[in-house]
Amino acid sequence: MLARVADNLYWLGRYIERTEHLSRYLNIQYFSALDTTSDYQRDLALKSIANMVGIDSEGEGYAFEEEILVAVAMDESNQASIKSCMHFARENARGARDLISREVWNAINKFYRFINDYPEDYYKTQGLFDFTHTTIENCAIIKNRIQSTMLHDEVWAFAKMGLHIERATQITRILISKFEDIKRVKERDNKSVESFQLVTLLKSAEGLDMYHREYSILPQQKETLEFMVLNARFPRSITYNVSSLRKHILQVAPNKGIEKDSIEWNIGRMSEYLKYLTVEEFADDPLSFLNKTLVYLNDLNSLLSKEYLNH
């Protein structure tokens, strides 16, 4: 398989997953904040949304709620917007169109048309839920097509690697963002707001229901952290995604990773570390742990690019 095309597939996976997470985050944050009468909560939600796509919400350009919402979802000049991500996803799919199945391509192309033709005025006034909801559903359809209509060979493995590394990254960023919010909330000493933040955190990862099944209690900080970072059976947890990533890297790896500092060795070590890590070890200072994880994931991306994609 061509290295260039492997790069296309890897980024296809990343952009689809990114599109989905951004949409869900926008949806959940915005609509959860509507449930509260607190201006502070709404302000926090908006800042948190801007933060996820790297917009400086303190900056002058984004004084209004509407502008932030447009910038995150529809702004073509913002490379991190949902619309841009989907554009990149489709361009990557186009570059690998001869290798993916027709079903995958059609699902991507059809969805791209939806996003591309979505009227901005409608979005601003009443379309935010429809836009984000349809986006999340279409990402699920595309991923299902990738799973069920492609050969599970190295072409598929690169798309899956992109998907898992992106999901691990997005989950880590959601956790960082929310735990920073919680820290601020704590400074104001407001317990109910903290629990509200944990609920939106879990919803942002579509994890609230499974959290309830796992713990049978309302979301608590330590349990939420354990669930989202360490749960090996929950497909949105960091551990689950690192371990899946390892599986797919080993699927394409010509040597199975005994060489020190090779990508296979590196991911093997991280995967095993997470397997035996306990929440007590980082619950006191989750942000420091999460920030290190984010750096690790970025390094892993560089290593993967160097090893397989940049020939």
Partner 1 sequence: MEEKILQSYRVKEHLLDEVFDHNGTIKKPYKKLYSHFNKYNSEDFRKVNDATKLSFLMQGITFATYAENPKGTERIFPFDLMPRIITSTEWAELEKGLIQRNLAINLFLKDIYNDKKILKDKVVPSELIFSSVNYNKYMVDFEPPGGIYNHISGTDLIKHSDGKFYVLEDNVRCPSGVSYVLSNRDALKKALSLLFKELRVGTVFDYAEALSTCLHSVAPEGVDSATCAVLTPGMYNAAYFEHSFLAQSMGLQLVEGRDLFVDHGFLYMKTIYGKKKLDVLYRRVDDEFLDPLVYRADSMLGVPGLMDVYRQGNVSIINAPGTGASDDKAVYSFIPQIIKYYLDEDPILNNVHTYQCEIPAEMDHVLNNMENLVIKPVDQSGGYGIFIGSGASKAEIEEMKQKIKSDPREYVAQPIMNLSTHSTFIEESNCFEPRHVDLRAFTLLGHDYQYILKGGLTRVALKKDSLIVNSSQGGGSKDTWVADVE
Candidate ranges 96-104, 201-209, 242-250, 278-286; the one touching partner 1 (CB under 8 A):
96-104
| In the complex, least distance from residue 6 CB atom to partner 1, rounded to whole angstroms | 5
CA–CA gap between residue 4 and residue 11 (Å, rounded): 11
Give 113 or 292: the residue with its C-beta nearer to partner 1: 113
Could you say which residues in the range 32-61 bind partner 1, by CB under 8 A? none
Which one among 1, 80, 250, 277 touches partner 1, defined by CB under 8 A?
1
SS3 state of residue 77: coil
CA–CA gap between residue 70 and residue 72 (Å, rounded): 5
**46 closest CA partner among 21, 20, 66:** 66
Which one among 141, 199, 208, 252 touches partner 1, defined by CB under 8 A?
252
Give 28 or 146: the residue with its C-beta nearer to partner 1: 146
Give 79 or 126: the residue with its C-beta nearer to partner 1: 79
Neighbours of 128 (CB within 10 A): 18
Candidate ranges 89-97, 143-151, 267-275, 279-287; the one touching partner 1 (CB under 8 A):
89-97
Candidate ranges 94-102, 206-214, 232-240, 271-279; the one touching partner 1 (CB under 8 A):
94-102
Which one among 4, 152, 256, 275 touches partner 1, defined by CB under 8 A?
4
Does residue 97 bind partner 1 (CB under 8 A)?
yes
Measured N-to-C along each axis, helices 238-252 and 263-275 cross at an angle, to the nearest 10 degrees, of 150
Does residue 254 bind partner 1 (CB under 8 A)?
yes
Candidate ranges 106-114, 119-127, 144-152, 284-292; the one touching partner 1 (CB under 8 A):
106-114
The b/e string for 68-78 (b: 16+ C-beta within 10 A; e otherwise) is bbbbbbbbeeb
Question: Which residue pairs, CB below 8 angstroms and at least 24 apart, start in 233-239?
Answer: 234/207, 234/210, 236/167, 236/171, 236/205, 236/206, 236/207, 237/171, 238/168, 238/171, 238/172, 238/274, 238/293, 239/271, 239/274, 239/275
Total residues at the site for partner 1 (CB under 8 A)?
A: 25
Note the helical H segments in 60-153: 65-73, 82-95, 102-116, 120-122, 128-149
Could you say which residues in the range 109-138 bind partner 1, by CB under 8 A? 109-110, 113
Does residue 99 bind partner 1 (CB under 8 A)?
yes
Does residue 88 bind partner 1 (CB under 8 A)?
no
Residue 244 CB partners (closer than 8 Å, separation 6+) = 160, 164
Residues that bind partner 1 (CB under 8 A): 1-6, 91, 94-95, 97-99, 102, 105-106, 109-110, 113, 154, 158, 252, 254, 308-309, 311
